[in-house]
A and B are shown apart, each in its own frame.
Chain A
Amino acid sequence: MKGLRKSPWLLLAAFILALLFRLYSLQVDPDPRVRSQAGSQYWARLRVTAPRGIIRDRNGIALAISAPTLSFFIDPTLWDPGNAPLLQDLIPRSRLERISGSIGGRYYPIARKVDPPISDRVINLRLPGLFWVKETKRVYPQGNTLSHVLGFCDIDDRGLAGAELFWDSVLYAPPEGRIIAKDARGDFVDVAIPGLTMTADNDSLVQLTIDSRLQHILERRLREGVLQHKAEWAAAVLLEPSTGMILGMASLPDFDPNDRNTFADKESLRNNAISRVFEPGSTLKPIIMANLIDNGEVSQSTTVNCQGKIRVADVTIHDIKAHGRMNPTSIIADSCNIGMVTCVRNSDPFRTYSFLRRCGFGDLTGVEMPGEESGLMIPPSQWRGSVPATISIGHGIGVTPLQLAVATSSIANGGKIMKPFIVSEIRSRGGALKYQGRPVVVSELLSARTAQWMRDAMRLAVEKGTGRSADVPGAKVAGKTGTAQVPGSGGYLKGDYTPSFVGFWPFNDPKFLLLVVIGNPRAGDFLGGKVAAPVFRSIVQDIEQIS
């Protein structure tokens, strides 16, 4: 009797226990299939594209940035070809023709990386079967400016040239998955509505040492010079001689990394500042002469007689005129070929070769950019006949503009070869410092006394010598002109010249060093003092006004 009375409670307790057990099994330890199905109702894993990191100049101005865009595709099973004409102004014509007819499958892309004004118009059409995904597009807000240094990316945001290629491992962030919530109707409770992807953040940074304002001056004045002299190419390098920090680097012809049509001309893609090898001509003379003075082969009291031409082995080397009695200072100031050839006549080729290698010629400078050339240096065992003489006047040796600028910096900074650097710092995703550009002394090339002496000689070249048209009153420019012939198959090409000017200012404590090279001017003038020096002067004038 008592058991019967208790039984309802026992049954209730058993029922509750069973219920609790079931609740426990469902809530705490469900069947994996149930867990998976329930999860799919609440959560979804989506493919997320991350933008590339930013490239900035030394003042923090963005030079390359990723901006959000939309890529459109259609699902042919839901698409009405009759709607195609509505997109005629918004997508490429070939794609438009394709979607005007029947298409198989479930996915057909119609436009990639469409910018907001147009993409908004496409979305507002609300066409059935038209879908879109979010992507980022690489944008270069300054257009052609610094295009060779920055480089460009492919359609999938992988770096193909310049800093974009060199630092691709830092800038590029691969697509990743992200779990996002869905509401009771199965819609995404997140930003992707109704697209299928969204973007992740990427705070990686490449900060260059380039100053946008100086770069603009460099490019503008160089372009004016190229147009005026109808030159085929040009390059300019501006750096801080005491540290090797590159403040500007220009190359013409150039391209607009935002416009792929400008990539068609292969010459425009070449960075002439680091990838063009040319014979420097007389701009090499100060470096050679400094070596002779440092070695004691030439002193300030040495004199030579310039008669306008000299026979060396099987070659006759000419000068513009017979300069008469010359000392080392006037040889540099008047750019006397005969004086240089006479001075190096007894030099040891192996010693000169070793010196030129210590200058950095024949080696990569190590600047943080792809595509750098090492130049051309004949080994001293092959320096026969007139080769040592021609090298002393900057022929028979191939250098890049950056190599020449770095070597001349040693005169400006007291005798040190500095490793050039164009990257200030690199921060990987998350903000960790990955690389920092610092001044690095590669070698002690010249004594401070010789460097000082050569600075004075180069100042004289600008005040009274061949570089007078580079002088800027008040700026105290020191420099050297150069006019080199262009080698071709079987000899030097007639009518082809490479005028150049390398200089620094103020000459007694240089803050800037600038090299200007103009390739193959066709307008008549071809001398460095007539073609490159005026461009140099105009750049110095502009820089002095803002610095």
Chain B
Amino acid sequence: MNSYTLELPCGNDIRTRGRGTTWILLCGAIVALLMGLVALRLYSLDLEYQLADIQRQIVLREEEQSRLEKDLAGLLNPTRVYSYARSELGMKASSNIGLVKVAAVSTGAPVDQEENRAGSGVIRKALVWLADSVSKKASARQ
């Protein structure tokens, strides 16, 4: 009579298998961690490259700004503006122009009274004529 022994998994084997799984998971986690570290390192390198590229662009723009500012200062040079206005635009010396200083209008009198004074007769006409002649000369200069 053959006898069979039924070997049932005992508690120790179950624990051993459980430990193996844990080790595998642990190893997987460590590998994942290492890969994560590598990925982070690569990411940081990429950021460094981007940063360096931005820095390069900043320096180039600053150099361009320096050149533009130099050009602008040269263009704003009053000597250049003056000689250009004389040679290219025909500006002439204003030897025939005098300064006309208009006295401040008195504010003591009522407005209508002032208007009546200015509006009456010859003085107003003379003032209008003077203003017109001055403005014509000014526009002729321009």
A65-B70, A141-B70, A544-B99 known; A216 vs B79 contact (CB < 8 Å): yes
Chain B positions near chain A (C-beta within 8 angstroms)? 16, 19-20, 23, 27, 30, 34, 37, 48-49, 52-53, 55-56, 59-60, 62-63, 66-67, 69-70, 72-74, 76-79, 82, 94, 97-101
Is there an interface contact between B66 and A66, defined as CB atoms closer than 8 Å? yes
Partner of A61, one of B23, B59, B73: B73
Whole-angstrom distance between the Cβ of A293 and the nearest chain B Cβ: 30
Pairwise interchain contact A62-B69, C-beta atoms closer than 8 A: yes
Q: What residue of chain B has the Cβ atom nearest to residue A198's Cβ?
A: B59
B48 near A181 with CB under 8 A, answer: yes
> Do the beta carbons of B66 and A191 come within 8 Å of each other?
no
Would you call A62 and B70 a contact (CB within 8 A)? yes
Bound-complex Cα distance A269 to B57 (A): 41
Flag if A473 contacts B98 (CB, 8 Å).
yes
Q: How far is the CB of A295 from chain B (nearest CB, A)?
A: 37
B46, chain A: closest CB distance, angstroms: 11
15 contacts between A and B (CB under 8 A): A9-B23, A62-B69, A68-B63, A142-B73, A142-B77, A142-B78, A145-B78, A189-B49, A189-B52, A189-B53, A198-B59, A212-B76, A216-B78, A217-B78, A473-B98
The answer to whether B73 touches A220 (Cβ under 8 A) is: no
Nearest CB in chain B to that of A193: its residue: B56
| Interface contact A181-B67, CB-CB below 8 Å | no
Contact surface of A with B, Cβ cutoff 8 Å:
5-6, 9, 12-13, 16, 20, 23, 27, 51, 54, 61-63, 65-68, 116, 136, 139, 141-145, 180-181, 183, 189-191, 198-199, 201, 212-213, 215-217, 220, 472-475, 541, 544-545
Q: Are the C-beta atoms of B79 and A191 separated by less than 8 Å?
A: no
Report the minimum CB–CB distance from B118 to chain A (whole Å). 22
**Inter-chain contact A474/B99, CB cutoff 8 Å:** yes
Which chain A positions have C-beta within 8 A of B55?
180, 190-191
Given known contacts A13-B23, A67-B66, A474-B100, A23 and B79 CB-to-CB distance under 8 angstroms: no
CB atoms of A61 and B76 under 8 A apart: yes
Contact B27 A12 (CB under 8 A): yes
Chain A residues with Cβ below 8 Å from B34 are 23
User: What is the minimal beta-carbon distance from B4 to any residue of chain A, in angstroms?
Assistant: 23
With contacts A9-B19, A143-B77 known, is A51 near B66, CB below 8 A?
yes
* Known contacts A142-B77, A216-B82, then 16 further A-B pairs from the complex at CB < 8 Å, ordered by chain A residue: A5-B16, A9-B20, A16-B27, A62-B70, A65-B69, A68-B67, A139-B70, A142-B78, A142-B79, A183-B49, A191-B59, A199-B59, A212-B76, A215-B78, A220-B82, A474-B101
Interface centre among B55, B97, B100 (most CB of A within 10 A): B55
| Min C-beta distance of B82 to chain A, whole Å | 7
In the complex formed, the residue of B with least CB distance to A215 is B78
Report chain A residues within 8 Å CB of B94.
Answer: 541, 545
Inter-chain CA distance A107–B30, complex, in Å, is 53
The one of A12, A144, A201 that contacts B23, using a Cβ cutoff of 8 Å = A12
Complex Cα distance, B56 from A180, in Å, reads 10
Nearest-neighbor residue (CB-CB) of A134 within chain B: B63
CB nearest to B72 among chain A residues: A62
Residues of B within 8 A of A12 (CB): 23, 27
